[in-house]
Amino acid sequence: MFVPIVLLLSAAAHSERPEPTGIPSIESMHDISNDDVVWVVQFGSIKPITKDGTRTEQWLMYIVRLRYSSERMPDSLRREFIQELRLALDDEKRWIAAHVLCVYLTVGKYTFTMDVDSWAGLDMKHGDKGSVFIEPSQRARIVRFWSEKLDK
């Protein structure tokens, strides 16, 4: 069984987002969802875009903000966040969103292949009308990868 994901073929589909403020609540990690992630083909590769206003977007924007500022995620929050990522990776409705967050959290630590059929170890099949299918059986491999990497 494949997980259908909508694919947008235009960079214009990515709207301007306001600068997020504050730290999302750790409880909001329970609300991240695979459905929050839209896949865009751009410049010969596929990349994830999070839907506006979703919990996945809130966490992604927080992670990106940390990368480009001197602000750091408090150690206690980081431990809780990683624990919530592990739980989300084990959840069939949240594992893709969790994988996207893991990749952005660890930018620069690991090298991933990214092309039109793969994004950071997640293989995709293209369907009709711009849809993308992600085989759920990949979850076990993704969980194994992150279980070895998240604590480092």
User: What was the pLDDT predicted at 14?
Assistant: 39
Q: Which of 141, 124, 142, 122 is nearest to 133 (CA)?
A: 124
> pTM above the 0.85 mark?
no
> Of the given ranges (19-23, 91-95, 127-131), which has the lowest mean pLDDT?
19-23
Longest pairwise C-alpha distance within the chain: 45
Determine the structural domain holding residue 118 and report its residue range: 3-149
Residue 131 Cα to chain centre, angstroms: 18
Q: What value, to the nearest 5°, has the Cα angle with vertex 47 and ends 151 and 107?
A: 30
Mean pLDDT computed over 67-96: 92
Q: Give the count of domains, the chain.
A: 1
At a CB cut-off of 8 Å and minimum separation 6, what does 5 contact? 34, 37, 38, 39, 96, 124, 131, 132, 133, 134
User: What was the pLDDT predicted at 21?
Assistant: 59
Q: What value, to the nearest 5°, has the Cα angle with vertex 117 and ends 132 and 63?
A: 80
What residues are paired with 6 via a beta bridge?
A: 131
pLDDT digits 0-9 by tens, 30-69 = 999 999 999 988 777 888 999 999 999 999 999 999 888 8
